[in-house]
Chains A and B, each alone.
Chain A
């Protein structure tokens, strides 16, 4: 018999096969004498072991056996930090790099928000019924903002300049 079939016989006996396969293997074992003998042998060993574990008893008196346990418990309790928050120690190796990533992300976010808020200061919010058009000249380091009312879109109402030093000048 092939070894994988022998293992199937054993798995069938141990109830480790899926239902449909267990049915198929069970039928085959019932038909095949060799498989049947193997199942009987394995089953007999299994049954004998599960019912006949040799009784073993501690050779020491109850008091003596307990005294060593009690001393060990007290000794370990006296060691500061021993077994305190063991999960923290296990997770520390993951938490430390993660904390670094979080800190870096915070720095980047703050930088972006600061940059964003400066940009916001430089762009004036148009009120209701107004439209803004922005033009930035890289070579002149200058930004021009056109603000127009809805009623008169062709006439610029306000013009805002930003020079190379970042100074903003509003013209009406």
Chain B
């Protein structure tokens, strides 16, 4: 099926308005416009292409079903991204990949997570890296974080969410969000610096 050639040229607000009145071709144009962004957010949380693809498509289905509730308080893509994040968090909880706070604290206190207790030794862990190289390294470093730490980082740095909103979505306390973010950033600094050293040797 080919899309109506006029649709992609329309403004977002027009497409949303027509989709809200039941015009599926307009919704299809919105999907075509934002599918990569929605998929990217699902992938950043799930770190699995197949799951990210399924969840991003489920998010669009849910978006269509809830379209009447969209009042334009935020942009359409922000609203769709929030739906995607909620679906990913539900899926992570269902898979028990998002662990209880106590287990996470044990990990941070013990073995794997000692670097967060050391004084900051990498004030500029990304210095001298090209944009593309930096992107790739960040992606590799993110993959090495636990689901809880990565999720906190994604919601804060990529989605600009405040501590309070992250806590609400991750169903934990603000203190836990602060600890998760702190640990995640220190580990990222260490990983990025480590990757930089690896390359220079």
Chain A positions near chain B (C-beta within 8 angstroms): 1, 6-7, 10-11, 14, 16, 34, 37-38, 40-42, 44-46, 48-50, 52-60, 62-63, 65-70, 72-73, 76, 83
Contacts and interface: CB of A to CB of B under 8 A. Distances in A.
Given A45-B192, A66-B28, A76-B61, A57 B39 contact: yes
A34 B119 contact: yes
A115 to B, nearest CB: 50
A46 B126 CA distance: 11
B36 A70 contact: no
Contacts of A52: 131, 134-135, 138
Chain B interface, >50% SS class = helix
B76 interface: no
B79 interface: no
Contacts of B43: 56
B57 A72 contact: yes
Chain A interface, >50% SS class = helix
Contacts of B56: 58
20 contacts: A10-B182, A11-B163, A14-B163, A38-B119, A40-B120, A40-B123, A41-B120, A41-B122, A41-B123, A48-B138, A49-B138, A49-B158, A53-B44, A54-B136, A54-B139, A56-B36, A58-B39, A66-B1, A70-B24, A73-B61
B86 to A, nearest CB: 15
